[in-house]
Chains A and B, each alone.
Chain A
């Protein structure tokens, strides 16, 4: 898979590299404006992200495998955790609770990175080893989420 990707990327670049070296023009093509893509699994705001994280936690506990072509549950959880500080910053949340979100997200990311590392055979078991700590972090996030209607009367920008 990877060599094919590499090969395709190289082939795509080859004409340009050659034209750079030969200083020859190649102005026939029109280059389309690239879109700024937001991943489909990115939650709209911080409360949605916390809800999604809890749902993913339950999914991992249940252990039901996803379809092959869909995103791995641990990868999705890792992504959502990475987005937590940004989503929380996109609200009226004060600095003190935001710092808690930031610290929690960093710790959760470390746990998920560990769980997703190649040397781990059984990811679900590795994840469950952190269950007590995960529970503490989830409670902290839920507590902050509950402040949201008061902290952010307009909610975040995605819900406009």
Chain B
């Protein structure tokens, strides 16, 4: 029982930590919609409930870096702004699927056409399901009163922060918690490693089964893309990969609960049934045509271990193990995001406790009697537009930071290569298991970095990267089994594959 409980807690906290940066982005986007764009501006951004609404919602969703939990405050604000139900659901479903960084990562899949096809399929889903919603349930848009505009200068920025803080201390947190609870419950249902053979290419049930698992699961866009890459490397079912992307990254229990509360059980059930039907249909449609060429099915995958219990039943010291796993895996940007989100939450709770009447907002909305001299006052929607374009710009800039130049990547890979090879030959199993996934990740970053900087990613170079990843995969298994000789030999093989990839990627 102890291992079960701490395992579920671990999965809950892991998902929370991963989600925090994108939840923060979601809160800021919702704040920009509310305080800078206003309701009219938000409706304009989403096509004024005309025929442009759905493709526009899809396009905005593709560009903004939010996850399916971070999208909750955004869809709540869209609802208040009077955007149509079809557009809200289209945005809510597609925004978490892709962002510029994850799309680029998708280029390291067996064939880049996969990511293009998946994007196109997501457009099809939102169009079909969005149109169906607006036809079946018209007039679901219910705009609240236009919020008063905010005063000039720093007040505008402060107003966005205040809104985000209040939102976080409000129902959004409950929906987010419900989404995270889905992950914890899934880990209670699925024993450790249960999904390792759940998505085999020759298993006709794989897409359907993955659909059932993916709804309560939660994945950030990047995590979903990493899982997709792993599935393609292992020759898993492409249909299952698609279902996992759309429903694992796109939906979660929190979003479903919000939907039921807003639109009622009957409408939500009908919409969800249609969504599942379209996703499953497309999953089976792409399953065979997109299967990667020349990939040998590995017979299993570790991509979904994160959705299962982290510990075997009866594992002793589960709490200390969970703590160690958390402290080892947490990234610096996640720590920053956790601190900032914590500050927002505290500010939100303080405001809810001591400023229920909204005195702070009234002060923020008070405008100076006279126009400031020598100062150009830009309208709120212009600033809102700049903020959103800026957010997209920052995420594009983030791509160049996340995928540094190949020379820097090779420096990192060189260090990690030594760690892995020496750990494998000196039986330092924990060190090897820690570095192998990081090493694998760098090989993919290398490929994206080359692409970003206009270098050619020839089949030869792709093949060299695949060979290195395959060796790492084999090594991981030997290390897990603590096979001394095999691990040592594969450590040498990994080192040789590294020297070859370095030679192949040199100009």
Contacts and interface: CB of A to CB of B under 8 A. Distances in A.
Contacts of A160: 489, 492-493
A62 to B, nearest CB: 28
B477 interface: yes
Contact of B212 (A9, A20, A85): A20
A141 to B, nearest CB: 16
Contacts of A98: 460, 463
B213 A20 contact: yes
A6 B205 CA distance: 8
B93 to A, nearest CB: 21
A160 B466 CA distance: 20
Contacts of A148: none
B467 A90 contact: yes
B473 interface: yes
Contacts of B474: 36
B497 A157 contact: yes
B300 interface: yes
Interface stretch (A22-30, A53-61, A65-73, A119-127): A22-30
Contacts of B294: 82-83, 85-86
Interface residues on A, range: 35 or more
A17 B189 CA distance: 10
A92 B185 CA distance: 49
Interface in A88-119: 88-90, 92, 95, 98-99, 102
Given A13-B205, A20-B213, A30-B313, A25 B496 contact: no
A25 B460 contact: no
Contacts of A25: 4, 188-189
A160 B204 CA distance: 39
Interface stretch (B190-198, B262-270, B346-354, B375-383): B190-198
Contacts of B312: 30
A102 B300 contact: no
A37 B481 CA distance: 14
Contacts of A95: 458, 460, 504
A35 B316 CA distance: 25
A24 B459 contact: no
Given A23-B189, A99-B459, A36 B477 contact: yes
Contacts of A38: 296
Interface string B277-317: 00000000000000001101011100000000100110000
10 contacts: A9-B205, A16-B209, A27-B191, A28-B313, A31-B196, A36-B300, A85-B459, A89-B460, A99-B459, A157-B471
Given A16-B189, A30-B191, A85-B463, 15 more contacts: A6-B205, A10-B205, A19-B189, A21-B212, A27-B188, A31-B196, A34-B193, A34-B299, A37-B298, A83-B294, A83-B296, A85-B294, A89-B500, A154-B496, A157-B493
Interface of B: 4, 185, 188-194, 196-197, 203-205, 209, 212-213, 216, 293-294, 296, 298-300, 309, 312-313, 458-460, 463-464, 466-467, 470-471, 473-474, 477, 480-481, 489, 492-493, 496-497, 500, 504
